[in-house]
Amino acid sequence: MVSKNGRLDFDVNAYTSSSVSTSINFWTQDRQTARLIFKLTKDGVPLPLAAVTGKLVLVMSDGSRFIRDINIIDRVNGHAEYVLSDKEVKHYGTVQAELNLYYANDQSMSVHQFSFNISKSLIDQDIIPVTEYYVDEFEALKSKINDLYEESIKTIDDLRAKFEDLEKIETKQGAQDKVDAALTKAKKYTDEHAETPAGAEGKAAAALEAAKEYVDPHFKNKKIHVTESEKSNWNKSQLYRLTPNDGKVARIPNGTDIFTLPTGPYMGAQLLNAPVENDTSFYYVNVLETAYEQNEVVYKCIIATRSFDNITWIGTFHAQGFKGWDRVLSEKDLNSTWNQVTLVTGTTKHFAGNPLKFSIRQNSLHLRGSFEVVPANDAVIARFAQKPSGETVFVGATVGSYGSARLTLAKDGSLKFDGLNANDNSKVTRIEINESIPLW
């Protein structure tokens, strides 16, 4: 792949300058080609990056802020890289950046602060980027979901306020009271102004008929009477229905494409474009569709929760279309346990003093322990349900004769023994493993 490489050699210590101004310069048309390459050392030797996650903080000149995961390409020699996204490279000007490392044992370290420049290409002279914030962290995602919940609660409270005047609607008894009041007023008026008994009687009869002509149609009308103010409030209210009349979440037909659903809560199975392909499970789906559209794409947020295991994903439609599903980490993901690996019968066996175990934490497969029978080369010794996105090769230490053993975790989850490289292979009694393998 063709790219513009900005190389950064950082030595991790407490004596270097707090920030380095580099001569790196990218352009706003460097899409998918603006790459920062990090070479990390400590005390003059490569800094190992095993069991570590790297975060790159980018603060753009226009106030936009991005926190991104870096790609570790060589964990032994301390090599990592990051390719600026199409969004980030559009924010021209001086970029303040910082590289941080987060270890599996809860340690963390700021490697270095530095700055580089993004120049505006001629073709982008009339384009002004919109201030953006993006954080690849669980707490930020949780905050965003809480904000959406608070917005929904406010909408419900507004609807209640609009309809609180319903208790003032006129009843049949109210109409009867108005008839009686009108009749009494008519009699009082005629009694006060009548000149003769006959004149008074005629005026009273006329007033009574006028009152009946006005009141009777309303009295006989069984429909609820409302005021003009109440009608105005109703006309201004929301007309879009979020649920059926019983207020429950609607079940949608099997095979429904959730990308086509309008705003509202739903439940269904065998859904198209679900977070897991070809998953027939029941999902609860909440769609928040906006009134904003760009590049013929309507901005929306979709939250999908699988019913049987409570796993939740969130996805958004942005200017470039659907941005993909991101799984929300739960307490179960963060508090994992160690389980003994089930070895393929006939290949090898666990060392009783330290059997081979595995644990899944934050989308990584952790292996530790040992097996004591050297298997045949290319033998599959275990199979995992957790599968990496790419084939992963790692080594374990040999016991009995100094050296190493090569192993491979394939994309189908099979763990294969590739062979030994020891001073004397015949004296190797067992193999020790301590490895962390990313599954993304």
Number of domains in the chain: 4
In a domain, 148, yes or no: no
Phi, psi at 181, each rounded to 5°: -65, -40
Query: Do β-strands 65-69 and 45-46 pair in parallel, antiparallel, or remain unpaired?
Result: unpaired
**Given this model, what pLDDT does residue 290 score?**
92
**Given this model, what pLDDT does residue 128 score?**
77
**Among 425, 370, 421, 380, residue whose Cα is nearest residue 400:** 425
CA distance 288 to 262: 8
For the chain, how are helix, strand and coil distributed in percent, rounded to 5? 25, 40, 35
Examine the fold and report which residue of 136, 158, 193 is the final residue of a domain before the chain moves on. 136
Place of tokens 């199975």: 269
Please tell me whether residues 196 and 275 are part of one structural domain: no
pLDDT tens string for the chain (440 positions)? 788 999 999 888 887 666 888 999 999 999 999 999 999 998 889 998 888 889 999 999 998 999 999 999 998 899 999 999 999 999 999 999 999 998 888 888 888 999 999 999 988 887 777 777 777 664 554 555 455 456 556 655 665 665 565 455 556 676 677 777 877 877 776 666 555 566 667 777 787 787 777 667 666 666 666 777 777 777 766 667 788 878 889 899 999 999 999 999 999 999 999 999 888 999 999 999 998 999 889 999 999 999 988 899 999 999 989 999 998 878 777 777 899 999 999 999 999 999 999 998 888 999 999 999 999 999 999 999 888 989 999 999 999 999 999 999 999 999 999 999 999 999 999 999 999 999 88
**Given this model, what pLDDT does residue 180 score?**
79
**Given this model, what pLDDT does residue 397 score?**
97
Please tell me whether residues 307 and 367 are part of one structural domain: no
Examine the fold and report which residue of 83, 116, 136 is the final residue of a domain before the chain moves on. 136
Q: Is the dihedral of CA 135, 137, 140, 141 positive or negative?
A: positive
Please tell me whether residues 97 and 118 are part of one structural domain: yes
Please tell me whether residues 28 and 85 are part of one structural domain: yes
Please tell me whether residues 215 and 248 are part of one structural domain: no
pTM here?
A: 0.34
Please tell me whether residues 64 and 128 are part of one structural domain: yes
CATH value at residue 360: 2.60.40.1830
For residues 280 and 270, the answer to whether their CB atoms sit within 8 Å is: yes
CA distance 122 to 104: 45
In a domain, 154, yes or no: no
Structure tokens at 293: 């559209």
For residues 407 and 372, the answer to whether their CB atoms sit within 8 Å is: no
Q: Is 356 helix (H, G, I), strand (E, B) or coil?
A: coil
Examine the fold and report which residue of 261, 295, 330 is the final residue of a domain before the chain moves on. 330
Residue ranges making up the domain that contains 261: 244-330
In a domain, 203, yes or no: yes
Please tell me whether residues 94 and 177 are part of one structural domain: no
CATH value at residue 15: 2.60.40.3350
Structure tokens at 102: 């987060």
Please tell me whether residues 343 and 318 are part of one structural domain: no
In a domain, 252, yes or no: yes
Please tell me whether residues 324 and 369 are part of one structural domain: no
Please tell me whether residues 66 and 114 are part of one structural domain: yes
In a domain, 162, yes or no: no
In a domain, 159, yes or no: no
Cβ-Cβ contacts under 8 Å for 96 (sequence gap 6 or more): 19, 58, 59, 113, 115
Please tell me whether residues 375 and 253 are part of one structural domain: no
**Given this model, what pLDDT does residue 141 score?**
46
Please tell me whether residues 279 and 296 are part of one structural domain: yes
228: phi > 0 → left, psi -120 to 50 → alpha, else beta; which? alpha
In a domain, 14, yes or no: yes
In a domain, 345, yes or no: yes
